[in-house]
Chain A
Amino acid sequence: MTAQAAFAQSNKGCSDAPVLKERGQREVFCGLTGIVWLHRKIQDAFFLVVGSRTCAHLIQSAAGVMIFAEPRFATAIMEERDLAGLADANDELDRIVGQLLERRPDIKLLFLVGSCPSEVIKLDLSRSAERLSARHSPAVRVLNYSGSGIETTFTQGEDACLASLVPELALESADSDKSLLVVGALADVVEDQFRRLFDSLGIGPVAFLPPRRSSELPSVGPHTRYLLAQPFLGDTARALEERGAKRLNAPFPLGAEGTTAWLRAAADAWGIDGDRFEAVVEAPRTRARKALEPHRFRLANKRIFFFPDSQLEIPLARFVSSELGMNPLEVGTPYLHREHLGSELAQLRSDIVLSEGQDVEKQLDRCRTSSPDLVVCGLGLANPLEAEGIATKWSIELLFTPIQGYEQAGDLAELFARPLVRRTKLEV
């Protein structure tokens, strides 16, 4: 079955399925976590969290490795003096930013990232950003967004960051032709592959948000068509729409079929005919399908349970079910963005439990009862579940590893297969 056919079926799948909404303990990182991959992506940007020791500890624990003595992120840790009003928080922030920029003349874009403490004490970082931008321009542009745990979960930090970039994008010139904007942080290698594919298809000009350098911010306007590369970009999409850009409705570029349908959405908008499209995607799609083959053999009919974490859960459930023949039991997501996930939901079987929000204890109960073969969950839950005899895949790896596009389809499947393969090897 071709991708177009797969995604065109009018079967509504999970589109109207009831959603289990839960309120209880959420076992999810906050939006600050996005800094871990965003700072690698935008190479001249620095992320300054205005927060507490907890915030600093979270990023450090999520990043796990300390490859760089001076990473391009840091925390301005608020202390008693700042809270008691003994020190003016704005003066303090100005001092720290001054200190930082003096030390790092290579920084061209500075994000002030709000945290729970800065928001609870109502520190207005947008005004700070304006003030500091005025002071340090043109050398450095200062923006702000919230990565706080009271406002954002995990990947929403990227959404907030990208949304803060949208007002900075230049307006496309009035006579410009249609242009394509790919939105959502992708590994450089994936970005380059997509760029080549769009070139061969004759789709262009193509730009990516976020760019690798702040000087390469794309322009935007009514002629901009954008494709979401990540499923968690609700605010960014809204901001782009306000600038006149239009979203190309598509699933997400995961797996051979997901990638094909995603590219197809752009090809349709550019009026590329079927033959040309086939000629371009045929070879990489075949490669991807071939790469999936051995994994499908291992994974078909295995039962999989997704804890809510990255908001990638629904597209991933679609990928593992339609391309690997796996059997999703429950698919949890921190937030369910129906519009952006429409074509993914339509592909899911209607008897799958969709859950939004979380009560981790109750969800663990459901998970145990449903006795899945594989559980996708965060780092806090993985080893305890393994100790109970349940195989797990850590969801954070799905964000730190390149998984999008044809050439990564096999790698993505391998991430799901590896824990199961490992179990068959161990004899202890």
Chain B
Amino acid sequence: MVELQRNKTFEPSGVQGKLKIVLHDVSGTLIRALGTIERRGYDYRDVHCTQRVDGDFDLLVHIEDTGGPSNLDTLCKQLERLYNVVSAEKVGRRKHAERA
């Protein structure tokens, strides 16, 4: 049988995480960020976006990997490379619980 090539390079499968992404209000801003997440091998579990008073956006995304080489640090850097992305960071579970 020929198997699917799901190459786990260094992180185990089922990587989940929550990202907080701050975006500039420019054309294509949301699609660009969400598209990058999807193309880099993740599914969304939850997406929440609000516009801030300064016009930028806060985007909270809960994601899960789809079997590619998952590495959330790399994903954050790939997001930060986008010109409309101000910042992208992992939001730790504990931190999130504290805030809630």
- The answer to whether A and B come from one shared complex is no
**Chain B residues packing against A (C-beta within 8 Å):** none
